[in-house]
Structure 1
Amino acid sequence: MRATLFYIFLLIYCVGFSQSDKVQVEIDTTNIRIGEQFQYKILVNETENVIIPKLENLKGLEVVDSLKIEKINNKIIQKYILTGFDSGAFYIPQQQIFIKNQAYLTDSLLINVTTIAIDTTKAKKFDIKGIKTEGYQYNDFEQYFWWVVALLILIGALLYYFIIRKKKEIKEKTIVPLLPPYEEAIEKLQALDKKLLWQNNETKKYYSELTNIIRGYIERELKLPALEITTDELMDVLNDFNNIKSIETNKETIDKLKKLLQESDLVKFAKSKPMDYQIEQDRKDAKSIIDNLKPKKEAIEDEVE
């Protein structure tokens, strides 16, 4: 019961899911034939701190293309080209849009996909053909069939003896279970160290992989689209979460993360080249960030319950 009340208040306070005039969706048609394309448009009446996640859960429909986001008259417009290859009625489900760290839901839309009708009255007609003689039957080749079978068995036995028998040890593919977010991040950091990227003048690639490891950890551990948003957007969300005590961290860790992400942006986009000691310190800071950025224990315990 406590877990249920917690989720209800958390939903009302932090997420604020709602349908409002902040977000709208449009389609240019509600009826298509199999394989035809149509446009799906998301309109957001805001331009600052807006996050539009990937279009997902389209049962019966497929995304052909995701067009570049447009900003027109203080609005953000995201357009998609969709299609369907199965007949039936399919819903484009509600999409979750984040505006200034508050979530809004769009309306769901119904699309009817129909098959292509065939006009049998216009089908091409052919003349009646004469009766063909009966083709060869199995009995005509039965004796040859058994000779072929015997020959194939002999060839198979020889192949087994000379090839397969000598290579009997087969490496079975093992399914590696997904590691917990923390363990995965630590393993990736250790693997990055072994590549010696920055030591071989590949500093840009090093910082790109380093920050992707941290963003990937945040995305899995805190359930945020950290790999898809900018540095400023990510820091705004984490600061808000820290202020309302929904994550376990401290200001020092937040500041380290901001500094590291900004340093990485400078290396990747401004061709900055940090000193060796700075790179080594950034590597230590990455480990410290992962160690000290966790979801709140109460939320984890309620989720387990």
Structure 2
Amino acid sequence: MKRLIATMLFTAGAFAAGAQERPVVTARLEPDSVFIGDLFDYVIEVEKDLVQVVEFPEFRNAGEGLELVASLPVDTLEREGRSMKLRKRYRMAAFEEGRFNLGTGQVLYADKNIIDTLYTADSLLLRVGTFQIDSTSQSIYDLKMQKTMPFRFAEIRSYVLWGLALLAVLLVGLYGVVRYLRQKGKGLGSLFKPAPPLPPHVEAIKALETLHNQKLWQNSRYKAYYSALSDILRNYIVRRWGIGALEMTSDEIIAAMRGIELPDKARMDLGSLLRDADLVKFAKAEPDPEQNENDYLKCYYFVEETKPEVDPSEGQKPNTEYKIED
């Protein structure tokens, strides 16, 4: 007898568990009537058991004239025992006039081996209105042109006053400079005198240092290297002795320099350097690294040994210290 009663109770419990009610789904629009461009909420609510699983839909394309603005998180409204109530809001906007049937609300339901879609009982209707214009009482006009306002001096008064003040300050400063120069016996043009040219030997040494840093022969640019080296030497001769070396051949330069007093070594280095430059420029010779360095030093020491001496009575000493970079 006890076994029969236990079997009946077990069967009744299993039947009650199998007959568990499905979730209840409701949906509504808040509000259900809007104007074009207004926002409204599509609300879906579900009442379900704690162990039941539901999944709310995702709106990728809300429909023509409608647009999903935001999908808000799921809210838990109530929870009592095993029962709970969930709510999901979809914020949407309407951009066309008319009546829209949004269909029934739905959620995906999963319980044990059951997967189903649950629907609401009624469809949702949305009314989108627009502003009505009575053309009989309201006239429609063309766009008006921009009105041209008269010019008023007050609009630029502050700019003019500041400009005049700045001009006055500049004039006062210029008057002070002119007066100071007159007291020193100088004119205004003394402020804009160009810098005096460098002495020939200083200019040549600077040009040689620049050429050394370019590393032309190290990159197999022998012709460019010797052309620059001979040009530096020719320019130095032009400025130092007034000989037109830029338009002369190497032999003409050597002949013109015979009447000038030079150290023997400097005269030999001049001839050797000019001949080496001609071989590279016209015969496409490719000197070895030792010869390239030697010709550079020949040009450097030719300038050093022939630079003009400064009279000590002038209070200046010749600048004879130059650095040769290795």
Larger radius of gyration: 2
Higher relative contact order (CA 8 A, sep 6+): 1
TM range (shorter): 0.3 to 0.5
Please report the TM-score for the alignment, with normalisation by the length of structure 2: 0.37
Q: Which has the higher strand share?
A: 2
